[in-house]
Each structure stands twice: as structure tokens, then as C-alpha cells.
Structure 1
Amino acid sequence: MKDQYPTGKADLMTAFMIRAQELTVHGGTWAMINLPSWMSLKSFEDLRHDLIENQRIVSMVHLGRGVFGSDFGSVAFVIDNVSAKSSRGVYRRLFEKHVDVRSVSTIEALFSDSSYNRYEVLQEDFAAIPGSPIVYWLSEKMRGAFATGRPLSDVANLRQGLATADNNRFLRLWWEVSDNRTALTCTSREEAASSGARWFPYNKGGEFRKWYGNHEYVLNWEHDGAEIVDFKPRSVIRNPGTYFSPSVSWSKISSGAPAFRAYPAGFIYDVAGTSMFTTTDRERAGLLSFVNSQVALEQLAAVAPTLNYEVGQVAGLPVADAAVDNGVVRAAIAVDEAKEDWDDFETSWEFARNPLVSLFERG
């Protein structure tokens, strides 16, 4: 597979796609029904590049789940064995959400309506999107944004964090350890080392929560992480120069859409609490507003079709400077409100008073 079908080696079905192309005369046509994973997953990126560059997608019907007995969905397509990047293909999407399960009779009814989820897309537009996913359902303006906007990586430093290799050993919930051995507001590794503390805030990702929150864990980073350093090579200490810096972070693995949050100075971050860093508070607030916007979420859904949101996928989002500038004030307000909500519960280390008690006393 690696030798004969290098761009399709990740799956037997994609090897058959390459073989079909090889068996088709130049200018001829080949067609297939298979799973849609090749349209977006990173492991098939080279296959998509080659297809966009050297083939022409004439038409495609995205059938969704349930048809042909596949729970992963299926896709039928017709391809000409000729290079035609500037041509337009016709695409039909016979479902609204990926979780929709369709029967054959439903598919027939939807297909008979020629206007239902019909798209005509310029093939070269796919090449402008990082990874060249076949995201035909994006609007023309949305696809164009990838070509005109700056990658988010140009305006922020995106990084993966620490992997302890033994969270039971090195992590605790903040209320499980002594306040006297905990430092919550250090702004650098040097300050943390000189504090004499053992436990420091740890960004571990966590549940879906926008703007602020999920401040629950502390990490044993005593003596600049000496115990974790001694645990190498099992532990992996990535990008320690960014530890304790304020950031915008998100959970790498989600059960749905991602949620981006502001983290103040003082945190070390996990491999699952991937983070981005900027030079100013204003830039950080503007980027937080952008990545939590509906536009960014739709763009991210195109480049990250699974529920894993990797650093590289977020780094490739196209950013418009005006959108970032306009969102600074709104993001600051949203963060303040989310922080107030988080601090209303005893699981916050800044909890001071139950709001119901205050409400009762005012009444």
C-alpha cells in the first residue's frame, strides 16, 4: 500500500480510488460510492491535493448515514480523468446534520427535489482552504475568506502543553491541597520557583464552557517541575517558556462545538488544554471574540470534521483584522460575566459568598 498507493495508503477504499484513476484513459470518467472520510481527514490530505490538481469532480451526492447500511455515511461521486481546477462541480447534500439517518425512500424523495441542498463550487476554491477539504457546502464568501484572511498563526502563538504521563500522581483538585503550598498568581517560571509553593493552577481543558472557567486542577510543579522532569521520557514538557502566561485556550477533545476561554496569568497548561498566546491583552481579547464567533465555528467545522480540535486546525483559521478589533469590548464583557458566574459556585477558588444568600439578605 505504501509503495503502490502512497496518497491513499490510509484506507483500502482510497487505494481503489487511485487504482480507478490509473485504469481510466485520459479524458475518461470513473465513479465510485464509498465513505466520506477521505473528503476531510488529514490522513487523506495528499489524496485531495492530487485529485484537485489532476482530476475534475463532475458531481457528488453526499448521502449521509443509513444508506447502504453504513453508519458512517456514504458518498457517491463522478470524476473526469482530466485536470480542470477552474471548473465547477455539482454537489448535493441529502441531510441537514451528520447525525441524520436516512432511509432509501427519504433519499429518493430529497433527490427528486432538484433544489434541495444543491451547490455548484469552483474546484480550485478547495485548494485555498488548509488541508483542501471538500467542503462544498460552505458559502462562496466563507471559502474566499481562507484565501484573503491572515492565518490565525500569524497573529498568535499556538502551542500544545504538558503531558505528565501520570495525572493521578501529579494532579490534584485545588481544594484537595493546602493553601500554604499553593500559588495561584505567579507570572513566570522564575517567580513560581522562588515562591516555595508545590501546587500551581493547571489548565486541563474540561467541559464545554465559553469565555472563562474550568479552573479546577493544580499541578505539582515544585522546584520548577523537578519531579515531572525526572519522570522523563514518559512525561513530555512542551513549550515551558509559555507557562504562567495569560492565554486563550480550548479543550482539544469536545462532544460538540469547541468553546474558547480566557485564562489569566498563573496557569500551566495540558496537552488537552491547547492554548494561544499574544503580546497584548487587547489582541488576546480580540482573538477570543473571533474564535467564539459563529463565523469561526463554521470555518473550524470545515477543517476539523471530527470532535478533535488540533492546534494546526485552529492555527489555519483566516482572521480579518477588523473582526478582531471590533470584538475587543464584547469579549471583555463576556469574560467578566462568565467569571462572575464561575465564581458564584464553591468550586471556584475565588468564591466568596453564595448569591442566594445575598439575594435573601437584600429581600
Structure 2
Amino acid sequence: DPCMGSGHILVYAFDVLIDIYRSCGWGERDAAKSILRNNLYGLDIDRRAYQLAYFAVMMKARQYNRRICSPENQPNLANFADVMGADTDMLSGSIRRFAEQFAFADTYGSLMTVTAPADIDTAFSDFMPTFGLNMRQFDMMMKIYKILSQKYDVVCTNPPYMGGSGMNAKLSEFVKSKFPDYKSDLFSTFVIRCTQLCKAEGYLGFLTPYVWMFIQSYEKMRNYIYSTRTIETLIQFEYSAFEEATVPICTFALKNSKVNKKGVYLRLTDFRGGMEVQRQKTLEAIADHKCGYYFETNSANFSKIPGSPVAYWVSENFIRAFERGISIDSISDFTGSQHITANNDKYLRLHWEIDANKVGMGKKWVYYAKGGDFRKWYGNIELVVDWSEGAVQYYKTNSTSNLLAEKYRFKEGITYTELTSSVNTFRYLPPVCIFDKKGPSIVSVKKLWYCLGIFGTKIAPLYFAILNPTLSTQVRDVKNLPIIVNGEIEPKIDEIVKENVEICKQDWNDFETSWGFEKHPLI
């Protein structure tokens, strides 16, 4: 365990190993000695965590061998803090280069790699009587070096979770340099590092946030796993499964080589009640594969979906739509750049606050799509934005604002509400508007009514839940939605969608808050 903390995984592994030794005919006393010497290894950056792990492992060993607490029975555990502050000024050559590698050991931890000259033991023995590197630091350096330089049958850990903003400058620089494709979080760098510590036919086990399964910034990590490793099992826990902290967690096991096989996946996201409920549901799934939350699939299927999310619960027909269909992006002009005023209080108004004669294309104020409440087909355009010469110049030059590109302005299209806890609702965008991040829009759509019809079905939210299962549907998610055009029914679909838009437009205009309001429907 390269991030052993206080040793929970190692202690549990001790009992597993005892059972293995028993099955091979070993006595418990000899087995406990062999496990300490040959089977368990752990590292941590924190001295106190190391001390707790050392104590926990030794007490577990003593459970099977009461005489095990002797100098020759030392666990293979080490911590990076105890090598800090070493005086290397009097060292030289390869010995000095070896010791200098530990200058930031308590920052890099198990992410670091350590090299040593072939005669490292003899060389340091000659230097020790003369120079200032104390024996404790030397012993810990050697222990860390030997642990990091080996390959293991199993690497199992709960790595630290820390985004780039939480890292200090030195760690951030190191991660960007050594793990440039996996730098989104410290846990993702550790997943990659652990594959380097494991034997080619070995296994890896992790407990991590499940954001890596879906979010774009972890796409390279996902593709690395799909192409070079094999997902054996994965359990996606309910969001609040750990009572101590609300963290979206999954646990997964990888074979450290590529094998063409199906992995096993458990989707426990619907079962609230803490980790005991999750445990029971796991056992039920193992006993009954038809329980409804047990899935088997080959991770190669995930690469067929744009963004390569770990969408293990979808059917093959669902995935096949991406191969058969065309993307929305291929038949529209969809920008990831939106208008940003950087000062909404100054530049935005509700349209009824402005003289209607001053609103419209070529005038001081223009209509502004900015998302809004749940509403399908038409509506929610209540705002106007200052489009005077001075305001436009401000949007161009201010460092925190953004002027929507000209080719996206005042175009017919489809707009939607980016952030929602329900399902996204898509609406017709009349060619009199600009839009911002909260109301992203597709313009110049070749099959506008057909696409709007697809967005209005119950199928589109299912695909968005795969492409991005967060509250915020990004532009790229809508662009990647597959669409299969049926020429025979397309005219009928267009007719129905236009009728829906007209009905909702009339409904919207029945209220005084609409800029198309003429009279109340009861009059």
C-alpha cells in the first residue's frame, strides 16, 4: 500500500494472507513471520501515520505469534518524513546523488522514483563513519528505495484526493512534469503510479472518488485503463455511503495487463442508508446476478461513446447508436464560447424595464437567452442586454468579459438551461437573441425541428446522463448526442415539433412578462 495511512488495508490483508498460508499447510506462527518479512509493504509521507500502521501490523502479527516482537521480525513499512533534513554536503558522487533524491520526499511520497548505484550498501557503509547523514535517515532511505524499486503481485490503496488548487507549488510542478495527462487530481496520478509498481500479471485495488468515470478531465486516465489494463470489478457506491463524509466513491480492481474479457460492475447509487446497506446489496448481487444492479460488460465498449465514460449499465443497442448515428455537432454550429458581461447588474435588464422602442436588433438593447426555469419548446427569454457601442467595446476589452462571436449572434437555433437538478429542457431560439453560459445555444442547425424533437424526448436525458452525469450539461455533451435521421418520418416529426413550439409560444405570450404579450386570454 503506497499510501498506507494508519495501515487499515495492510491489517485486513494480513488476515487474508493467513488464510492463504493455512490452506498451504503452514502453521500460524511461521505464517505470521513470513508475512511480515515477505508479503506486506507500506509507505506514507506522515510519520505519525507510519507509527500507527507499524503498531497495527505488529499487533495483528502478534495475534498469530505472541513471540513475534523481536528485531529480526520487522515489517516492511517506511515513511518519507524521517529522511528529511539529511545533511548531504559532505557526500559526493553517486552517493550524494542518491541522497539528494529525497530532498522533497515528504511532498512527493510514493509518486517519486528513486535510483541507486549498484554498490549502494557498501558505499554508504564506507561513508557513514565520516559524514553527517545519521543512521536512522540512511536506513529509512534504503527501505524506501527497496520498496519503491520492487514490483508487486497486488497494489491496493486509498490514495489521497487533492485537486490542483490544493497542491503546493512544488507538488503541483512535480505532478505536471511527471504525470501531465493525469494531473487533474492527486488520486489519478496515484492510480497511474500504482500500475508502475505492480507486476504485469498482478492486480490493483483502489478506493477513489468516482468522478474519474465520467468527467472530461479524466478522459485520458480512462482511455489509459481501457487500452492497457483490464477492469475486473467496479462498485459505484451511493453518494452518502460513508456516514463520516459525503463523497462520491467507487472501488475498483484492475488486472495490470490487457485481457479481452467482461468486467463485473455493481451500481449501488440508489441504495441509501450507509455502508452496511451497501455491503448487504453487494452480497445480494453476488448471489443473484438478476438483481437489477449487477452488470457485466467489456470496457472496450466505453471507447465507442464520446468522452469514453464508464457507462457500464447501458445496453449494446444504446452504445450502437453512437456508431450508427451522426452527432448534433456535425449538422450545426455550436460554440463553447458564450457572451459574458462581467457586470450583470449594469448591463442586463428585464425587458419590461426598458422602452420597447429601444429593444431589438440594431438598437441599444437586444434579447438575451440565459437559461431559466423548467420549460420546453419555447420561452424563458425575459432579459435584454446592453448592446450600445460603449457596452460592446467594454465586452471586447475587459479582461473578465467576453463578446459573443459575430457568427453566433441573432441566429435561429435551439437553446437550453445548462444547470438543472432535473432534466434539461430545450427551446426554440428566435433569430433576435444572443446568449450566455447559462443559456448555451445551437445555431445554424440543418435539421432544426428534428433535433429539437429529439431533445424533447425521454431518450435524450438518458444519453446526457451517460455523457455527463452532473447537474451541469456542457456544450460538448449536447454536441456528442447521436441522432439517427429517418427520412420517411422526418416531415411528420417536423410538423409535430412546430406545433408544440407554436402552442408553447402562445402559452408564453399569454402572460404580461412576455415581450409578445398582447392581451390576457380571458379577455
Report TM bin, short chain: 0.7 to 0.9
1:221–1:228 CA contact under 8 A, matched in 2: no
Q: Which residue of 2 is the match for residue 180 of structure 1?
A: 357
Higher helix share: 2
Q: Structure 1 residue 8: deviation in Å?
A: 2.8
Q: Is 1:136 matched up with 2:312?
A: yes
Q: Is 1:109 matched up with 2:286?
A: no
Q: Is 1:147 matched up with 2:320?
A: no
Q: Which residue of 1 is the match for residue 141 of structure 2?
A: none
Q: 1:45 to 1:340 in 2, by over 3 A?
A: same
Q: Which residue of 1 is the match for residue 458 of structure 2?
A: 294
Q: Structure 1 residue 231: deviation in Å?
A: 4.7
Q: Normalising by structure 2, what TM-score?
A: 0.62
CA distance in 1, matches of 2:184, 2:239: 22
Q: Which residue of 2 is the match for residue 312 of structure 1?
A: 476
Q: Structure 1 residue 223: deviation in Å?
A: 4.5
What are the equivalent positions in structure 2 for 1:271-286 lying under 5 Å apart? 271-278=437-444, 283-286=447-450
SS state of the match for residue 172, structure 1?
strand
CA distance in 1, matches of 2:322, 2:184: 27
Q: Which residue of 2 is the match for residue 67 of structure 1?
A: 241
Unaligned runs of 5+ in 1: 187-191, 359-363
SS state of the match for residue 67, structure 1?
coil
1:246–1:263 CA contact under 8 A, matched in 2: yes
Q: Structure 1 residue 58: deviation in Å?
A: 0.9
Q: 1:234 to 1:92 in 2, by over 3 A?
A: closer
Q: Structure 1 residue 138: deviation in Å?
A: 1.5
Q: Which residue of 1 is the match for residue 202 of structure 2?
A: 28
Q: Structure 1 residue 56: deviation in Å?
A: 0.3
Q: Which residue of 2 is the match for residue 361 of structure 1?
A: none
Q: Normalising by structure 1, what TM-score?
A: 0.87
Q: Considering only CA atoms, is the larger Rg found in Structure 1 or Structure 2? A: 2
2:396–2:403 CA contact under 8 A, matched in 1: no
Report the aligned-residue RMSD: 2.0
> Which of these residues, 168, 187, 209, is aligned with residue 345 of structure 2?
168
SS state of the match for residue 182, structure 2?
coil
Q: Structure 1 residue 137: deviation in Å?
A: 1.2
1:125–1:144 CA contact under 8 A, matched in 2: no
**% identical equivalent positions:** 28
1:35–1:73 CA contact under 8 A, matched in 2: yes
Q: Structure 1 residue 180: deviation in Å?
A: 2.1
CA distance in 1, matches of 2:242, 2:306: 31
- Opposite residue 328 of structure 1, the aligned amino acid is D
Q: Which residue of 2 is the match for residue 198 of structure 1?
A: 364
CA distance in 1, matches of 2:205, 2:396: 56
Q: Which residue of 2 is the match for residue 339 of structure 1?
A: 505
Q: Which residue of 2 is the match for residue 221 of structure 1?
A: 387
Q: Which residue of 1 is the match for residue 299 of structure 2?
A: 123
Any idea what the Cα deviations from partners look like across 1:84-133, whole Å, max 9, x if unmatched? 3x42111111233xxx5332332233223223211111211100111111
- Opposite residue 180 of structure 1, the aligned amino acid is N
Q: Structure 1 residue 173: deviation in Å?
A: 0.6
Question: Which structure exhibits the higher relative contact order, with contacts defined as CA atoms closer than 8 Å and separated by 6 or more residues?
Answer: 1
CA distance in 2, matches of 1:163, 1:17: 38
Any idea what the Cα deviations from partners look like across 1:256-276, whole Å, max 9, x if unmatched? 321111011111212322111
> Which range moves more in the overlay, 325-334 or 345-354?
325-334
What are the equivalent positions in structure 2 for 1:29-68 lying under 5 Å apart? 29-68=203-242
1:290–1:327 CA contact under 8 A, matched in 2: no
- Opposite residue 205 of structure 1, the aligned amino acid is G
Unaligned runs of 5+ in 2: 1-174
Q: Structure 1 residue 224: deviation in Å?
A: 9.3
> How many residue pairs are counted as aligned between the two chains?
340
Q: Structure 1 residue 227: deviation in Å?
A: 4.4
1:64–1:72 CA contact under 8 A, matched in 2: no
